[in-house]
Each structure stands twice: as structure tokens, then as C-alpha cells.
């Protein structure tokens, strides 16, 4: 069975990647789906001196829950099982590491996410993953309807 990673940031493009995999599973049979949301770390020493780590972790969990909600709903509706994970760190590096650690066969991701460079042809995270991953990366563009 194929092992597929879908990085999800809550953007319409990441939802298109999820729908792409739902359609693919319907046509080609089952695979193990890993949803991954990566939160950027809060690194400011000032913040860390006023807010405890438990509160910061709760913030990460809340943000991930919001980002993953649409993807989970689509997979739940389709009856496809998945594993959802939250990581904190550099987004592209975390995606690559997770794919390696979980022995994923490929990564399916949207062409652009919610980042500041949304107007670029491909988002900066997508480009970094394309250049650094040692497994196939399928980039789902805006033309794939959910």
C-alpha cells in the first residue's frame, strides 16, 4: 500500500491536494494518508518569558486544528482513513523529515499555500520541498476542483 504525505495549511490549494488524493484513491485503490500541519516556532525570547510553554503548545494545537479542519472533513466524508500530525519548525524541512521518517512514497501538495508569497507561480515552501525531497512530489494546481 502506498504511503502518501499531504502537507495541509488550510489553504484552498491544500484542500485541492486532499481532493486529488480522494479522487486517486477512488480510482486506484487504498493508500495510507498522512496529513501534516507545520507551525512556525515562536522564537522570540520576549514572548517565551511572558507565556509558558503549555500555552504556546496550545496555540500551535489550535492553529493546526483550524488548518486541518477542511482536510479532515473531506476525508471523513469520503470514508478514507488518515493520520493527522502537528509539527513545529521550518515548514519545508519538517515536511521532508516527516516524509523520510514515515517512509512516504510521495508527497502531494498544493502549488501555493497561505504564505506571504501567494502571488508567485509556486509557493516558496513548495519550491523548497521540490528541490529537497528525495521522493516524488505531486503539485496540485488551482485547476483541480474540490
* Count: domains in the chain: 1
Instruction: Indicate whether 146 belongs to any domain.
Output: no
What pLDDT score was predicted for residue 124? 83
Predicted local distance difference test score (pLDDT) of residue 36 = 98
Give 103-113 pLDDT, tens digit per residue.
Answer: 999 999 998 65
**Does residue 56 belong to any structural domain of this protein?**
yes
Q: Is residue 62 in some structural domain?
A: yes
Is residue 55 in some structural domain? yes
Tens digits of per-residue pLDDT, 38-86?
999 987 667 777 888 899 999 999 999 999 999 999 999 999 999 999 9
Region 13-28: mean pLDDT is 95
Q: Which domain holds residue 99?
A: 2-140
pLDDT at position 112: 66
CATH code where residue 131 lies: 3.40.50.620
> Mapped to the 3 state alphabet, what secondary structure does the chain carry?
CEEEEEECCCCHHHHHHHHHHHHHHHHHCCEEEEEEEEECCCCCHHHHHHCCHHHHHHHHHHHHHHHHHHHHHHHHHHCCCEEEEEEECCHHHHHHHHHHHCCCCEEEEECCCCCCCCCCCCCHHHHHHHHHCCCCEEEECCCCCC
pLDDT at residue 143 tops 80: no
The proportion of the chain whose per-residue pLDDT surpasses 70, expressed as a percent, equals 86
Amino acid at each position: 500500500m502506498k504511503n502518501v504525505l499531504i502537507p495541509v495549511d488550510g489553504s484552498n490549494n491544500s484542500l485541492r491536494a486532499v481532493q486529488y488524493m480522494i479522487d486517486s484513491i477512488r480510482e486506484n485503490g487504498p493508500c495510507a494518508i498522512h496529513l501534516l500541519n507545520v507551525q512556525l516556532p515562536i522564537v522570540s525570547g520576549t514572548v517565551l518569558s511572558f507565556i509558558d510553554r503549555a500555552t504556546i503548545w496550545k496555540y500551535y494545537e489550535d492553529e493546526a486544528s483550524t488548518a486541518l479542519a477542511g482536510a479532515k472533513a473531506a476525508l471523513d466524508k469520503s470514508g478514507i482513513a488518515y493520520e493527522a500530525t502537528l509539527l513545529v519548525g521550518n515548514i519545508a524541512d519538517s515536511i521532508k523529515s516527516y516524509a523520510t521518517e514515515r517512509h512516504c512514497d510521495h508527497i502531494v501538495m498544493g502549488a501555493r499555500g497561505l504564505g506571504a508569497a501567494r502571488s508567485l507561480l509556486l509557493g516558496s515552501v513548495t519550491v523548497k520541498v521540490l528541490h529537497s525531497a528525495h521522493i516524488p512530489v505531486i503539485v496540485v494546481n488551482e485547476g483541480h476542483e474540490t
